[in-house]
A and B are shown apart, each in its own frame.
Chain A
Amino acid sequence: MNKFTILLRKDWTESVRKHRLMVLTLVFLSFGILSPVTAKYLPEIVDAIFKAFGEIPDLGLIIPKPVINDSYVQYYKNLTQMGVLIQILVTMGIVSDEKKKGTAILILTKSVSRSMFIVSKYVMSCIVLVISMIPSFVAFYFYTWMLFNEQPLNGAFIGILVFILLLVFIISFTLFASTVAKSTAISAMIALGGYFSISIVSALPRISEYFPMYLLNASFDLSVGAGSISEFIPVIVITAAASVGFMILSVASFRYQEL
């Protein structure tokens, strides 16, 4: 077993025993189940609530009949609002915790390079993300199909892959924050501050489609068949390059840090 594999195994054990994998899987799974259910039954629920109060006779005039696209809207809205936040929360301590507690020292005084230490954390975070997204997407696909009597388009799979790329970018950005910060609290401030800044900049007209957050639009459009992958190549390439870039910056920063 080579040293990188040993580090990956250690980071896998950490993800499992520190419940990162479980938290991500359960949160994403809840979105996968609740989003189609909410999209399908929200009008009926709202209708029932109002009827209980005996006020409004016909809500069908206000809330249109749910369609399959509502399920996608709910799913990506949940993933964007809570999913990204949870991803930041589980990633923000992966390097800063080890620096603060001193566990990194024990590994780095073995024959392990600092770059290998960081890259292993990046790769394992991505693996954990992908694994935790699988049950979520399967549940979402199944419940959407069942509830709307309509099989989701093939684009749904491409859409979720594009969204995973966005989360990979979030991982690399948070990894960078965790590497440069001396504590997890500072790491959280940098990561969340950075995320909100990028979100604001991404809302600006004309330039928004070149920022990673535009992948949210891409995910949705690809899922509902409103766009083709070729339209989103620039932002996909930019996000992938930025992810690798932040990972390289993390390695470079860690290499010169005194522990």
Chain B
Amino acid sequence: MRTVNETNDSIEIRELIKSYGNIKAVDGLTLNIAKGQIFGFLGPNGAGKTTTMRMIAGLTKPDSGDIYLAGRRVVFGGKSGREKLGFLPDVPECYGYMNVREFLEMCAMLQGYTRAEARVRADEMIELTGLTGVNKRIGAYSRGMKQRAGIAQALIHDPDIVLMDEPVSALDPEGRYDVIEILKKLKGNKTVFISSHIISDVEKICDSVAVINKGKLIESGPVSAIKDKYDNRTIIFGLPVWTVREKIGRFEAMLRNSDWCEDVSVDQTNHYRIKVTNRSTAQLALPGIFASNEIPVEYIDSVTTSLEDIFLEVIRK
């Protein structure tokens, strides 16, 4: 078994399998995550995200398969591959009897920092996560503040790879915004592997995503490529209700005869929804068709497919 893997990928997962009784929590998962990427790991509840995260962190033992972090094989219960890893669990519980500074200093010293260095790092992380001036013990923190403390401990040793299990799920909108801003700052410097239910947030910050369901990988790749693949190529437009019927008839006939038009649907108030083979070709041709039929247009827009739409589509397959 190789313990070192020469690769440009920060995280490499190969044929990972984990079962609990008869249930396969993770079923043959293979993923490669390049250095400096922010990678979104999506899936419904019980899809196997947390189990995968814990296997990457060396906390849960895979039935089979390999995980490499920066080329070093992760060994269950061991320290190999973990030196450069920061981990935020789904429900981060820090020591409630400590204040955040004590806790972060301890975490930093456990990663090899001297006391003086640990103080500096703790201050930096407190500022980064917006916990400045909070002097009470962590036990008295709200869920959102605990999440911030959890993020701070995950980043305390300036890790190359950061695993974050649902980093924004417990936060209010302001907290979510703050965390997303923190994650944006990490972009390019660190490899960040995030699982989340809040797909609109993932879409804002992630370079690539993977979608798993029932332990199996359903889709993965750069966000732009996935959006292209699942783009529904739909254009919507509206015509005035007083438009002469004959003109509309000629217009629709021209639309249906165009080789780039796959489908046309319209409601009683002249709101059209057309599916096209190629969005650019349609966008170029449509103004000519409106003009040749002397039809004014009230509005025209292309429907963009959100990552959330794609997520729902792929997990329902």
Partners in one complex: yes
Taking beta carbons and an 8 Å cutoff, which residues of A are in contact with B? Answer: 1, 3, 6-7, 9-10, 13-14, 17-18, 101-103, 105-114, 255-256, 258-259
Q: Are B94 and A111 in contact (CB under 8 A)?
A: no
Q: A14-B97, A18-B97, A105-B89 are in contact. Are A111 and B112 (CB under 8 A)?
A: yes
Total number of A-B contacts with CB less than 8 angstroms? 73
CB-defined contacts of B85 to chain A, threshold 8 Å = 109
CB-defined contacts of B60 to chain A, threshold 8 Å = 258-259
Q: Are B95 and A1 in contact (CB under 8 A)?
A: no
**Residue of A whose beta carbon sits closest to that of B87:** A109
11 A-B contacts (beta carbon < 8 Å): A1-B115, A3-B110, A6-B106, A18-B97, A103-B94, A105-B57, A105-B89, A106-B89, A108-B59, A109-B57, A258-B59
Stretch at the interface among B75-83, B277-285, B288-296: B75-83
Q: A102-B92, A105-B89, A258-B61 are in contact. Are A110 and B97 (CB under 8 A)?
A: no
Is B111 part of the binding interface, using a Cβ–Cβ cutoff of 8 Å? yes
Is B127 part of the binding interface, using a Cβ–Cβ cutoff of 8 Å? no
A105 CB to closest chain B CB (Å) equals 5
Is B183 part of the binding interface, using a Cβ–Cβ cutoff of 8 Å? no
CB-defined contacts of A10 to chain B, threshold 8 Å = 95, 106
CB-defined contacts of A101 to chain B, threshold 8 Å = 93
Residue of B83, B95, B102, B157 with most partner-chain A CB within 10 A: B95
Q: How far is the CA of A105 from the CA of B115 in the complex (A)?
A: 22
6 closest A-B pairs by beta carbon, nearest first, are: A17-B97, A109-B87, A110-B110, A102-B93, A259-B59, A101-B93
Q: How far is the CA of A17 from the CA of B139 in the complex (A)?
A: 12
CB-defined contacts of B86 to chain A, threshold 8 Å = 109
**Residue of B whose beta carbon sits closest to that of A2:** B109
B153 CB to closest chain A CB (Å) equals 6
Is B4 part of the binding interface, using a Cβ–Cβ cutoff of 8 Å? no
Is B98 part of the binding interface, using a Cβ–Cβ cutoff of 8 Å? yes
CB-defined contacts of A259 to chain B, threshold 8 Å = 54, 59-60
CB-defined contacts of B111 to chain A, threshold 8 Å = 110-111
CB-defined contacts of B286 to chain A, threshold 8 Å = none
CB-defined contacts of A111 to chain B, threshold 8 Å = 79, 82-83, 110-112
Q: Are B59 and A106 in contact (CB under 8 A)?
A: no
CB-defined contacts of A102 to chain B, threshold 8 Å = 89, 91-93
Partner of B109, one of A1, A17, A109: A1
Q: How far is the CA of A255 from the CA of B76 in the complex (A)?
A: 9
Q: How far is the CA of A105 from the CA of B83 in the complex (A)?
A: 15
Taking beta carbons and an 8 Å cutoff, which residues of B are in contact with A? Answer: 54, 57-61, 77, 79, 82-83, 85-87, 89, 91-95, 97-98, 102, 106-107, 109-112, 115, 150, 153, 157
CB-defined contacts of B157 to chain A, threshold 8 Å = 110
Q: How far is the CA of A9 from the CA of B153 in the complex (A)?
A: 18
CB-defined contacts of B91 to chain A, threshold 8 Å = 102
CB-defined contacts of B82 to chain A, threshold 8 Å = 109-111
CB-defined contacts of A17 to chain B, threshold 8 Å = 97-98
CB-defined contacts of B95 to chain A, threshold 8 Å = 10, 14, 103
Q: Are A113 and B79 in contact (CB under 8 A)?
A: yes
Q: How far is the CA of A113 from the CA of B107 in the complex (A)?
A: 14
A54 CB to closest chain B CB (Å) equals 56
Q: How far is the CA of A108 from the CA of B98 in the complex (A)?
A: 18
Q: Are B94 and A106 in contact (CB under 8 A)?
A: yes
Given contacts A108-B59, A110-B157, 13 further A-B contacts (CB under 8 A): A1-B115, A6-B110, A13-B102, A17-B97, A17-B98, A105-B89, A106-B153, A109-B58, A110-B82, A111-B83, A111-B111, A112-B79, A256-B61
Q: How far is the CA of A82 from the CA of B93 in the complex (A)?
A: 33
Q: How far is the CA of A9 from the CA of B97 in the complex (A)?
A: 13
Q: How far is the CA of A171 from the CA of B95 in the complex (A)?
A: 22
**Residue of B whose beta carbon sits closest to that of A257:** B77
B16 CB to closest chain A CB (Å) equals 15
Q: Are A103 and B59 in contact (CB under 8 A)?
A: no
CB-defined contacts of B93 to chain A, threshold 8 Å = 101-103, 106
Partner of A255, one of B57, B77, B150: B77
Q: Are A105 and B59 in contact (CB under 8 A)?
A: yes
Q: Are B77 and A114 in contact (CB under 8 A)?
A: yes
